[in-house]
Structure 1
Amino acid sequence: MSELHPFDAAIALKPLAEGEAQGHTSPAYANFIGPYGGITAAQAIQAVLRDPRLLGEPIALTVNYAAALADGPFVARTRPARTNRSTQHWIVELLQGEETVVTATVMTAARRETWSGHEAGMPDVPRPADVPRTPRQGVAWLNRYDMRFLTGFVPRKWEGQGDAESLTRLWLRDEPLRPLDFASLTAMADTFFPRIWLRRAKQTPVGTVTMTVYFHADGAQLAATGTQYLLAQARGQGFRNGYFDHAGQLWNEQGDLLATTHQVVYFKE
Structure 2
Amino acid sequence: MTLHVFDQAIALQPLGDGRFTGNTSPAYANMVGPFGGVTAATALSAVLQHPDLLGEPVALTVNYAAALADGPFEVIARAARSNRSTQHWVVEIVQSGETVLTGTALTAARRDTWSVDELAAPDMPTPDAVGKPNMAAPVEWVKRYDIRITEGAIPTAWDGGGDASRTTLWMRDEPARPLDFCSLAAMADVFYPRVWLRRATRVPAGTVSMTVYFHAGSAQLAAAGAGWLKGQAQAQAFRNGFFDQTAQVWNEAGHLLATTHQVVYFKG
Distance apart, 1:230 and its partner CA: 0.3
Task: Tell me which residue corresponds to 2:160.
Answer: 160
CA distance in 1, matches of 2:192, 2:138: 14
Deviation at 1:195, TM superposition (A): 0.4
Query: What is the SS of the residue equivalent to 1:100?
Result: strand
- Structure 1 counterpart of 2:148, which letter? R
Residue-pair matches, total: 267
Contact 1:75 1:95 in 2 (8 A): yes
2:208 is equivalent to residue 244 of structure 1? no
SS of equivalent residue, structure 1 residue 208: strand
Note the C-alpha offset of 1:138: 2.3
1:75 alignment counterpart: 74
Q: Secondary structure at the match of 1:214?
A: strand
Distance in 2 separating the partners of 1:56 and 1:103? 22
Give yes or no for contact 1:133–1:149 (8 Å, CA) kept in 2: no
1:134-153 matches, cutoff 5 A: 134-135=133-134, 136-153=136-153
CA shift, 1:137, in A, is: 1.4
Compute the displacement of 1:36 (Å). 0.4
Residue matched to 1:31? 30
Shift of 1:93: 0.2
Other-structure match for 1:93: 92
Q: Which runs of 5+ in 1 are unaligned?
A: none
* 1:7-49 deviations in Å (ceiling 9; x for gaps): 0000000011220000111100001111000000000100101
**Alpha-carbon distance in 2 for matches of 1:155, 1:131:** 17
Partner of 2:51: 52
Q: Deviations over 1:91-144 (max 9, x none)?
A: 000000210000010000000100000111111212222211234512110000
CA distance in 1, matches of 2:119, 2:23: 36
Percent of paired sites with the same residue: 62
Match of 1:174 in 2: 173
Amino acid at match of 2:168: R
Residue type at the aligned position of 2:57: P
Q: Are residue 213 (structure 1) and residue 212 (structure 2) matched?
A: yes
- The residue type equivalent to 1:173 in the other structure is R
Question: Secondary structure of the residue that 1:184 maps to in structure 2?
Answer: helix
- Secondary structure of 2:79's partner? strand
Deviation, 1:201, is 1.2
Q: Secondary structure at the match of 2:210?
A: strand
8 Å contact kept, 1:148–1:172: yes
1:267 matched to 2:266: yes
Tell me whether 217-226 or 121-130 shows the greater mean CA deviation: 121-130
Q: Matches of 2:138 and 2:236 in 1, distance apart? A: 28
State the shift of 1:203 in Å.
Answer: 1.4
- 1:51 & 1:234 partners in 2: Cα distance? 32
Structure 2 counterpart of 1:194? 193
- What does the per-residue CA deviation read over 1:160-213, in whole Å, with 9 as the maximum and x for residues that have no partner? 221x21000000000111100000000000000100000111111111100000
In the alignment, the residues of structure 1 paired with residue 172 and residue 88 of structure 2 have an alpha-carbon distance, to the nearest angstrom, of: 29
| In structure 1, distance between residues paired with 2:233 and 2:202 | 19
SS at match of 1:183: helix
Amino acid at match of 1:134: P
Spell out structure 1 runs of 4+ moving beyond 3 A: none
User: What is the rounded CA distance, in whole Å, between the counterparts of 1:92 and 1:134 in structure 2?
Assistant: 34
- In the alignment, the residues of structure 2 paired with residue 146 and residue 12 of structure 1 have an alpha-carbon distance, to the nearest angstrom, of 22
How far apart in 1 are the matches of 2:71 and 2:97? 14
Q: Which residue of 1 aligns with 2:130?
A: 131
